[in-house]
Amino acid sequence: MSLLLRRPPGREAYPGDVFYLHSRLLERAAKMNDQFGGGSLTALPVIETQAGDVSAYIPTNVISITDGQIFLETELFYKGIRPAINVGLSVSRVGSAAQTKAMKQFPWPLKNR
């Protein structure tokens, strides 16, 4: 990848500024001008992993920038579980800020099975 972009290689032959490029793309997802009403838009980056490896360089970069991720698994899909969300790997950094009062009071002894 670095050779194609004519940049010095960094980790795993990606350009050294790949983290900057990811953050720049996500931050600019919807830069609304105040002149036209302002506001914001949620970006939903989609990353395909190799053999479900979320510890690879690109997935970890995007995960570190975003407020969470929904991890979809092909194996769950073929088992008939739809949406095929792996709740063990899916994360939200928003957490309780998005929960209602009733949800916060509910005892949560739920486990990933």
Extract the residue ranges of the chain whose pLDDT is less than 50. 112-113
Determine if the pTM surpasses 0.75. no
CB 58 within 8 A of CB 65: no
- Which of the residues are catalytic? 93
User: So what's the pLDDT on residue 107?
Assistant: 64
CA dihedral 2, 67, 72, 55 (to 10 degrees): 50
Domain boundaries, the chain: 1-30+44-66, 67-113
CB 65 within 8 A of CB 26: yes
